[in-house]
Structure 1
């Protein structure tokens, strides 16, 4: 029997996503009433609303487009409702220069351990996520592939072309001859025929091989110095072969982006970087927009579950301004942070393995921050990076890769 908490905690937020005008007053009252704990509910929304954030080659927004189809009512159990309410239908999309629609909100899978990530992806797809962000270095693509195999097919209600899947080329595979085999390994693990987007994870390379972090006998990380432009040329071949629909960059600075564009026959479509109100990345975002790239934000909530978290670092989710806005809008701090990103046209991929949080993270399209509140969020900028690999040298903590000539964070942006 569905509980009152189910109606109030799950269904009401879901239906609010569609917009207040689509929810009859009688149904609003029904959900708020204790009578909503009825054993059956006559709810089956057949609703397709797609709002697309369009960006031209000049980086200027072209507005949004949407369409709405029919909705109907049938007897449904609680399980049926969770399976049938498609929240993906209200998730806005960025349009890549390739013409692809990239959902502005996706599920991140970094730090999602094997044994947990499959259930997280299965649940995310069931409640409407249509964007999954992966990487070889996360060491969980095979389990994500199991979730895809169990969820994605016309018979199971989700078509392959409806799900935007991203993965990334790791640093040990920058040699041009290693690029395609690395992608094919990812495709095999994910049980897919193609990727929607393939990113070069970092501009700098590690020593070639199958060990993710190759080290000397003394424990020193071993680097390579493959030119990332040569790696890019090999990635372009993946597009020509139909193995990926778009290629892009991750953790590149503005100068390195321009290096790639200067030699590219296939233009980068996306730049994925760390971004949140403590690291706004406004200059880098403007740079991307001028060059027709969409920006994706990883660690949008501050990555507080990192193993190397320092007790004295600022905690984004506890910021007083963020918490005040959360109270004002009756949202969580995480939802405020995610809303800020998607409202400025930045794709964001928060990670979670907890069903309630996975669902909550998607519920950011039923409200808007004011222009002043958007500026307020930007004013929190501290240029604080949470994701910088560090090592201890002579008793001091220093960036691990800062000595590499392609290290991206030595430049202003």
Structure 2
């Protein structure tokens, strides 16, 4: 049974307080929600409904000249209620379609589509990416006054695609892919009568792979030595960085690591990779294991949460998927006096690249490196051949032995 609106807002306010929101922010939310509750009651509606909430916002906007900042804050208040009502949690970041559109029909469709994606096996980052691209399409429709979904046609799709010409090829591929998925959903749900996804072409082509950024062994050791292992926060960071630098785990898998994944008797870490969905088993190296034990026993917040690594400020929850830990690495780079270059990526993933490069230099077979990194294909691993200078040198042709003539012919 769904909660009544006043019960929902009270519960959300308590969660906001526990999450560290300021009293001023909570009071501003409470002020808006109280007015919204009165409007719902005047319509004999007692449960939360996004469409009715947006109607109330429009009525309030028509009576008062709200500034853009105030209007966005109110839309955010509506989104928090909607998200909590559906998922039982306060969103760590308030990106949502309803802050980008003023069309009630489009808002409802976008929210339903967001829920549809959430029911699938997409990560929150993937869902956010899809919604962001679809919102760009919706903004195009509103700017060109295509305000009813029944007006959508192949011609409108072509006009929208023309507006993408200024973007890079990879960006166009992401935007059109997101739109194709969205249009297909609308057709299968009988929201549109024609499958307009057929008019969204597929972007194909060869993409030039960038050489991966990597660290030398000495640089990795300097970085680790710069971490203060007497500091609770840094005990956590040290263990996380070791998992990437020594075992090559993706940062997303480190953040999702649970106690059940640590098989101490077998000295193994066993996970299902968040990116590929494939199982991965890695050795629990001695220094990595002791770093995890030190963190759990001496620094980890004493809360009931199955994730190994937690935030150290309320709420004591697992780390956000959107936190790529770049600033964490950068902090220790500065402390270790390691160079920071705009041309070189210095995030957690670069440590993963470094492990692959080191293994390559030690003549570990490419297939074994692929298994360690959890790649589904050796092709994904082969890019590290490009940074193995010694092996490239071995592949170089000896021009003298080829018998090249003065005219350049063999």
- TM-score computed with the length of structure 2 as normaliser: 0.28
Which structure has the larger Rg? 2
**Between structures 1 and 2, the one with greater helix share:** 2
Looking at secondary structure, tell me which structure has more strand per residue: 1
